Structure 1
């Protein structure tokens, strides 16, 4: 049982990292996926530890499932977000990303769309990157933050408040969010 727990710990850590709501996570998908696949491969080829027949079948099934998601991870949006993410961009070559291809994607994707904005702000040092960062770094890799928001709305509507209109529910949720934000701000001070 401990072998299974040890095997699954990196997945728990990756889930916590990718489920964050206070920082963008899409740019971290590529290196996290690479680390998880390396972890699985090491577990499969190891001479000791995770060696039972059931454990090996489990590890192989997990590896196959992650490889099913590889096409999604290699999408241009994910690669562009990774290239723009300062926490990740330095390791992209080490995880098998063709940086030249990503740079071409970036150029092609935004050349036409932001050409006028680029010309207007040419004096600024990196206007194109600023526009791209706005679009890509705001993406989250998981739906956990939005699920949390829906969960809060679900606790707001109960048997006593079942007839609240949409505007009232939205106002209550926004007030709860504001109160939570203020409480968090006070704790930091």
Structure 2
């Protein structure tokens, strides 16, 4: 597995070794020892989540605060998404910056998003099955979020705003300046 450091410290793209033949393919999607060796991060995942969405569905930007903050290892099982992480660590040199990566069932890339980041994605294919591991349990009282179209962050979601499908909850999220402090 290859580990590619993004411009945001602690956020990595993982490109697994895929063994293909006439039967299909095989890959090791996660190995805690390998993950720790190639990223330098000791993360123990405790919860797996999966979602299925149609084209134009935008989920995010979400995060958990305080003792319930979560690191995530995300990937797409089927379809294609544009996945985005925003550094919301106040003391970070890249505070307020974001990085996006194309994840698909075909490229099998994974994206590690450490604690202290907001996260969201948009479905670019007709449908997508999105899967992620978390290193902490979800806690409703610790939810935080930032509106997807915050001008200060300036994310290009790869689709026109008239084609987006966004939950009422995500449409009501605050802007970056007024978002809940992650710590």
TM-score by structure 2 length? 0.25
Structure with higher strand content: 2
CA radius of gyration, larger in:
1
TM-score by structure 1 length? 0.25
